[in-house]
Amino acid sequence: MAFTVTSDSFKDGDYLGKDHILSENFGFGCAGGNKSPHLKWSGAPAGTESFALTCFDPDAPTGSGFWHWVVVNIPAGTTELPLDAGNPMSGKMPAGALMTRTELGNSGYLGPCPPPGTGVHHFIFTLYAIKVPKLKIPRGSSAVLVGFNLNGDAIAKATVTYTLTAP
C-alpha cells in the first residue's frame, strides 16, 4: 500500500475554500476563517514511529517561499487531523504533537493570503513518516531547523496540494 495523504476539505490540486484563508485578524487584507483543513493518511511504512507535517507555498514572492504550518512529533497511531486542528486553542491536535513557528512567528496554522498580483500559488502539505518517536525540536523552532532534522529521520513522505490565485 502506498503512503498517501488526502483531505475532506479539498481535492489534490483544487482551490481552497474561504474557511481556510487567513483571517482579517492578521491585517493582511484577507477575510477567511483561518481553519486548517482536514487531512487523512494511510499506508505509513513499517518502522514509522511518528509523523511530521509541513505546509509550504513555493510561489510566495519572498525568494524563499513561505511556511504556513509546521508540526512535529505527531504520534504514530494518528491517521488524520480534523478540521481546525492547527488552531492551538482548539484542542484538536494529538497529545504530544508540537506546532513550531510559521513565517509570522506564530505556532499553528497560518492560512494563505497571497499578495495581490502575484498569480497562482500552490500550497503543498507534506506528511513525513519518521523513524523516531520524537524529533528533538525546541518549541518555537523555524521550519528550516525542522527540515534539517527531518533530513536524517524521515523514511517516507506523501503530499497533497491546493491552489489559490492572488487577487
Reported as a single tens digit per residue, the pLDDT across 85-137 is: 999 999 999 999 999 999 989 999 999 999 989 999 999 999 999 999 999 99
Enter the pTM of the model.
0.94
pLDDT category of residue 83 using cuts at 50, 70 and 90: very high
The pLDDT, as a whole number, for residue 47 is 97
The pLDDT, as a whole number, for residue 113 is 92
How far is it, in rounded angstroms, from Cα 82 to Cα 86?
A: 9
Whether the Cβ atoms of residue 78 and residue 85 lie closer than 8 Å to each other: no
Is the per-residue pLDDT at 15 higher than 90? Answer: no
* DSSP reduced 3-state for 24: helix
The pLDDT, as a whole number, for residue 76 is 97
Write the DSSP string, 86-153: T-TTT--SPTT-EE-B-TTS-BS-----PPTT--EEEEEEEEEEESSS-----TT--HHHHHHHHHHH
Q: Look up cell 506564530; give the residue.
A: 106
Reported as a single tens digit per residue, the pLDDT across 19-58 is: 999 999 888 889 999 999 999 999 999 999 999 999 999 9
How far is it, in rounded angstroms, from Cα 75 to Cα 98?
A: 10
Is the per-residue pLDDT at 167 higher than 70? Answer: no
CA distances 143 to 27, 46, 73, 100, 162, Å, are: 23, 26, 14, 7, 20
pLDDT (average), residues 137-157? 91
